[in-house]
Amino acid sequence: MTASIQIDRSPAQQYLLRLGDTCLILGQRLGEWCGHAPIIEEDIALTNMALDLVGQARAVLTHAGRAQGYDEDQLAFLRDERDFFNPTLVELPNALGGHARPGPGDFALTVLRNFLVATLLKGLWTRLCESSDAELAAIAAKALKEARYHQQHAADWVLRLGDGTDESHRRMQAALDQLWRYVPELFEADAVDEAAAAGGLGPRWADLQADWRAQVDEVLAEAGLTPPADSSFRSTGRRGVHTEHMGYILAEMQQLQRAYPGGAW
């Protein structure tokens, strides 16, 4: 097995890794749908989005790793769990407790999460187009086009299922009830975001909250879905402290490179 790499935990590095890891881990989750989506057309759509996200992660991780002498693969496959900084929302499995259907997960939860995250990433990439970091700004300009489509596609599903049959509404509302508690973490201010904002690298994620909430509320209202009451629970993925699900996703993702270092095909 290849030993893990040690990473620079400076605020700027953590800021970039939060972004890259968000794309990487959600891309990995969406990849689990490959070959299993309800219809073949949506199977292709979800897989396209997974590949878009992995492509964005590659660009950001390549950029983040350069200063430390690591490439994208080393950062993706040789970091330990505590050195990943994605919010908990994206690492959750495609189905949460109570979902007893076969297959890779709960389609309602999958499209709702895509909607919540794509709305966030759309806002984030928009702001990052003006980053003081020219390479990050260029990555953002390309990624924004993809994120806009992801957001439209996911919002469309939230509307269709939320405002569809009694059964589809019930499932969407259940997904919203399950995921909503992982939302506050997205917008928590901390020293990493402060440093990025002060240096012009990118916005505090907290600065994106008002816009995000307005867009999300509009779609949820049209879909007839109601967010549950806010809770005091705070997930901590962006600080590198993950749920029990993260180890499994990393094991699957990293196993090959750990067992066959530098393997390529």
Binding site for other proteins (CB under 8 A): 39, 41-42, 44-45, 48, 149, 152-153, 156, 160
Rounded to a whole number of angstroms, the minimum distance from the CB of residue 163 to other proteins is 13
- For 187, other C-beta atoms within 10 Å of its C-beta total 18
> What whole-number distance in Å separates Cα of residue 9 and Cα of residue 7?
6
- Pick the closer one to other proteins by CB: 23 or 45: 45
Rounded to a whole number of angstroms, the minimum distance from the CB of residue 82 to other proteins is 36
> What whole-number distance in Å separates Cα of residue 84 and Cα of residue 133?
22
Instruction: Match 């928590």 to its residue by tokens.
Output: 188
Q: Which DSSP letter does residue 188 get?
A: -
- Pick the closer one to other proteins by CB: 52 or 185: 52
Rounded to a whole number of angstroms, the minimum distance from the CB of residue 148 to other proteins is 12
Rounded to a whole number of angstroms, the minimum distance from the CB of residue 264 to other proteins is 23
Tokens, residue 84:
């990943």
Rounded to a whole number of angstroms, the minimum distance from the CB of residue 160 to other proteins is 7
- Residue 242 sits at φ, ψ, to 5 deg, of -110, 170
C-beta separation of 74 from 263 below 8 A: no
> What whole-number distance in Å separates Cα of residue 97 and Cα of residue 80?
26
C-beta separation of 123 from 211 below 8 A: yes
Tokens, residue 123:
């806002």
- Pick the closer one to other proteins by CB: 40 or 191: 40
- Pick the closer one to other proteins by CB: 47 or 62: 47
C-beta separation of 137 from 130 below 8 A: yes
- Pick the closer one to other proteins by CB: 34 or 137: 34
Instruction: Match 């508690």 to its residue by tokens.
Output: 181
- Pick the closer one to other proteins by CB: 26 or 196: 26
Rounded to a whole number of angstroms, the minimum distance from the CB of residue 201 to other proteins is 32
> What whole-number distance in Å separates Cα of residue 208 and Cα of residue 128?
12
